[in-house]
C-alpha cells in the first residue's frame, strides 16, 4: 500500500468533483433563455410541460422563472428554442464530463 498514491488519488477525486460541480453549474446557467420578454429555464420540466400543452392547445399560459404568467402563441417555436438550448448546454457538459472520465482511469 502506497500512502502517497492513495493521497494522490484522493486529491484527484476532489479536483474532479469540484470541476464537475463547476461544469454542471455552467450548464445550468446556460439553460436560461429569454422568450417573449420573459425568462425561462430550458429544463426537462419546462420542456415536458410545453410539449404536453402543445399537443392539445395552440396557445396556452406558462410561468416564467419569477412566476409571472406568459401566453405562448407559437408553441412550436418556443419548444424548438427550449430543446436547442437544453441540448447545447448538456452537450457542452458532456464534453467536459468525458475529460473527467479520462482522468479517473
User: Applying CB under 8 A, which residues contact other proteins?
Assistant: 11, 14-15, 17-19, 21-22, 25-26, 29-30, 32-34, 37-39, 41, 65-66, 68, 92
Retrieve residue 4's grid coordinates: 502517497
Measure the CA–CA gap between 19 and 66, rounded to whole angstroms.
29
Most distant pair of Cα atoms in the chain: their distance: 66
Please name the residue that has the C-alpha cell 486529491.
Answer: 11
Minimal distance, residue 15 CB to other proteins, in Å:
7
Distances from the Cα of 51 to the Cα of 6, 57, 59, 68, 75, angstroms: 49, 10, 12, 20, 8
Q: Find the shortest distance in angstroms from Cβ 56 to other proteins.
A: 28
| Pick 31 or 50: Cβ nearer other proteins | 31
Q: How far is the CB of 55 from other proteins (least distance, A)?
A: 27
Complex with other proteins: residue 83 or 92, whichever CB lies closer:
92
Amino acid at each position: 500500500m502506497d500512502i502517497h498514491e492513495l493521497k494522490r488519488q484522493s486529491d484527484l477525486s476532489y479536483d474532479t468533483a469540484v470541476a464537475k460541480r463547476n461544469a454542471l453549474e455552467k450548464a445550468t446557467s446556460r439553460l436560461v433563455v429569454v422568450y417573449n420578454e420573459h425568462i425561462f429555464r430550458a429544463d426537462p420540466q419546462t420542456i415536458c410541460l410545453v410539449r404536453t400543452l402543445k399537443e392539445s392547445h395552440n396557445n396556452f399560459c406558462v410561468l416564467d422563472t419569477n412566476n409571472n404568467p406568459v401566453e405562448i402563441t407559437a408553441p412550436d417555436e418556443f419548444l424548438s428554442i427550449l430543446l436547442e438550448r437544453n441540448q447545447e448546454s448538456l452537450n457542452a457538459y458532456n464534453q467536459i464530463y468525458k475529460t473527467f472520465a479520462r482522468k479517473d482511469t
